[in-house]
């Protein structure tokens, strides 16, 4: 949402919503903070300690298996082997709750580097097209800002949850960004043709 605020078309709509939401949050903060769900999240020290323990053990795993990782699906096994604590009655297996650490620990540098570069390349392409929009009226700035917002939200969220194993979320993300990048590629490919058409028209007029 913060990315969208940089675009005038979105700022007119989102800024009042953000301000109203902040005001409501301040007015009802006591009631919100007193709710069972929020109180549990804010005071659950064991969850924080557990995540810190996951990160500490993940660092050990990565240090010993930096290049290729320990293999897809093997994080839980190595987590216990490296001294990690896990409740025997837990309904799921331990995971670092961080997509980048999960990929680095299970598939190594050979996988996490291309993974990060995918998002970097998409982001840079959209930024380049945004710069081009200053001199090309055909470029839809609002659409590109939406694409940048999607990339930012996805990549930031990936640092807090294991997104790459969530098939539906990844499919939606790549559907949105792929559509926008297809639009960008179409604009790039259509520009030379438009220039050639104008050049041919100019030469025809000159010849006449």
The model's pLDDT over 151-205, given as tens digits with 9 standing for 90+, comes to: 999 999 999 888 877 888 889 999 999 988 888 777 766 655 545 454 455 555 4
Is the pLDDT assigned to residue 50 strictly greater than 50? yes
| 24 and 124, same domain (yes or no) | no
* Mean pLDDT score across all residues of the chain: 79
| 73 and 144, same domain (yes or no) | yes
| 16 and 87, same domain (yes or no) | no
Confidence of residue 114 (pLDDT cuts 50, 70, 90): very high
In a domain, residue 207? The reply is: no
Domain span at 93: 46-202
| 39 and 53, same domain (yes or no) | no
pLDDT, tens only, 3-38 = 566 666 667 777 778 788 888 888 877 777 677 666
Is the pLDDT assigned to residue 56 strictly greater than 70? yes
Helix (H) or strand (E) holding 75: helix 75-81
In a domain, residue 2? The reply is: yes
Ramachandran sector of residue 71 (left: φ over 0; alpha: ψ -120 to 50; beta: rest): left
In a domain, residue 208? The reply is: no
Q: What is each CA distance from 58 to 35, 92, 109, in whole angstroms?
A: 34, 18, 14
| 104 and 24, same domain (yes or no) | no
Percent of the chain with pLDDT strictly greater than 90: 27
C-alpha to C-alpha distance for 123 and 117, rounded to whole angstroms: 10
User: Given this model, what pLDDT does residue 205 score?
Assistant: 46
| SS3 letters across 132-178 | HCCCCCCCCHHHHHHHHHHHHHHHHHCCCCCCCCCHHHHHHHHHHHH
User: Given this model, what pLDDT does residue 129 score?
Assistant: 85
| 118 and 64, same domain (yes or no) | yes
| 152 and 190, same domain (yes or no) | yes
What would the mean pLDDT of 53-64 be, rounded to a whole number? 91
Between 206 and 42, where is the model more confident? 42
Domain count, the chain: 2
């Amino acid at each position: 949402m913060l990315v969208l605020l940089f675009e005038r078309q979105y700022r007119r709509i989102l800024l009042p919503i953000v301000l109203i939401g902040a005001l409501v949050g301040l007015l009802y903060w006591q009631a919100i903070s007193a709710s069972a769900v929020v109180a549990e999240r804010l005071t659950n020290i064991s969850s924080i300690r557990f995540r810190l323990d996951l990160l500490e053990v993940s660092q050990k795993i990565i240090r010993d298996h930096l290049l290729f990782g320990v293999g897809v699906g093997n994080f839980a096994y190595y987590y216990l082997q490296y001294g990690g604590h896990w409740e025997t009655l837990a309904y799921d297996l331990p995971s670092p709750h961080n997509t980048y650490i999960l990929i680095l620990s299970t598939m190594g540098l050979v996988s996490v580097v291309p993974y990060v570069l995918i998002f970097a390349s998409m982001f840079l392409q959209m930024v380049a097209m945004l710069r081009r929009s200053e001199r090309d009226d055909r470029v839809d700035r609002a659409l590109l800002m939406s694409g940048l917002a999607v990339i930012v939200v996805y990549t930031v969220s990936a640092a807090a949850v294991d997104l790459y194993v969530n098939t539906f979320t990844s499919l939606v993300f790549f559907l949105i960004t792929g559509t926008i990048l297809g639009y960008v590629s179409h604009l790039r490919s259509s520009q030379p043709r438009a220039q050639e058409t104008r050049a041919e028209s100019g030469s025809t007029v000159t010849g006449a």
